[in-house]
Amino acid sequence: MLHGATVAILSGGPSAIDHFARGQAFMDELEEYETLIAVNHNAEKVEADWWVFNDHPVFPSTRTRGRPVVFGRSDWTPARMAPRTEDWRLWPRVHQDDCHDQIPRVAPDGPVPVYNEPKYANYVNRPERRSNLPRWNAFGGLSALGLAWLLKPESVALYGYDNAGTAGVNDADHPDVPRNRDPRRWETEAKIFAWYMEIFAEAKISVARI
């Protein structure tokens, strides 16, 4: 279901390894949620309603279960999805870039720091992501939280959202996908995550990290 009252987000942190090790019991547990959001390559492991990823190489390297709706970037052209260009043309998707105005932009504790390296210049200097505002979709797990916010459920369960470490549940199968897991990234993400928890609490949407 695309707009259920109970949402589960399945991220790729190391704790997800333990969840998947539970086998069918874990699959049955996920079935209890009305809406399932898979982040990155977890769409290979579960049949999700939504599929969230921020790095476009995830699409051609993933063989999903079913055909979840993609919550991704608007500037991803079919050519960038080679060799699955035609598949991308037909894939159902919603653009994150169309949703900036629907997500609160003011962090309760002041500005959220962002990277200032040249490679991020075009990203943080865009008007909707000015450096004095939290980047709600800076990383895949955060984008999934943004999607959950837009769905306005009663509750959100977070699996595999660890905000720490360098290992991920899908790394061995997909070594070619870009990733950034240095301590500064986790520090930045933790600040934006805390901001998310504030706005979810204000909306009376319960969030549990499992």
* Residues 27-81: tens digit of each pLDDT: 999 999 999 999 999 999 999 999 999 888 889 989 999 999 999 988 788 888 8
Highest average pLDDT, of 123-132, 155-164, 183-192, comes from 155-164
pLDDT band at residue 131, thresholds of 50, 70 and 90?
A: very low
Least confident of 182-186, 194-198, 199-203: 182-186
Burial of 184 (0-12, 13-18, 19+ CB in 10 A): exposed
Mean pLDDT value of segment 182-206: 85
Q: In the structure encoding, which two tokens stand for residue 23, read together? A: 């086998």
Least confident of 23-27, 50-54, 142-146, 193-197: 193-197
Sign of dihedral through CA atoms 72, 76, 82, 84? positive
Report the alpha-carbon distance of residue 155 to residue 8 in Å, rounded: 8
pLDDT band at residue 171, thresholds of 50, 70 and 90?
A: low
Per-residue pLDDT at 61: 87
Per-residue pLDDT at 122: 42
Work out the angle at residue 64's Cα, subtended by the Cα atoms of residues 61 and 69, and round it to the nearest 5 degrees.
Answer: 105
Per-residue pLDDT at 124: 40
Per-residue pLDDT at 100: 75
Report the alpha-carbon distance of residue 210 to residue 207 in Å, rounded: 10
- C-alpha distances (whole Å) from 204 to each of 97, 199, 201 are 25, 9, 5
Is residue 40 within 8 A of residue 139, CB to CB? The reply is no
Per-residue pLDDT at 29: 97
Q: In the structure encoding, which two tokens stand for residue 186, read together? A: 């986790």
Q: What does the DSSP 8-state code read for residue 170?
A: T
Least confident of 26-30, 105-109, 198-202: 105-109
For 112-127, the pLDDT digits (tens) are: 444 444 444 444 434 4
Per-residue pLDDT at 106: 44
Report the alpha-carbon distance of residue 121 to residue 129 in Å, rounded: 11
* pLDDT score of 87 more than 80: yes
Q: What is the pTM of this model?
A: 0.83
- C-alpha distances (whole Å) from 182 to each of 18, 186, 207 are 22, 7, 25
For 10-22, the pLDDT digits (tens) are: 998 889 999 999 9
Report the alpha-carbon distance of residue 18 to residue 59 in Å, rounded: 25
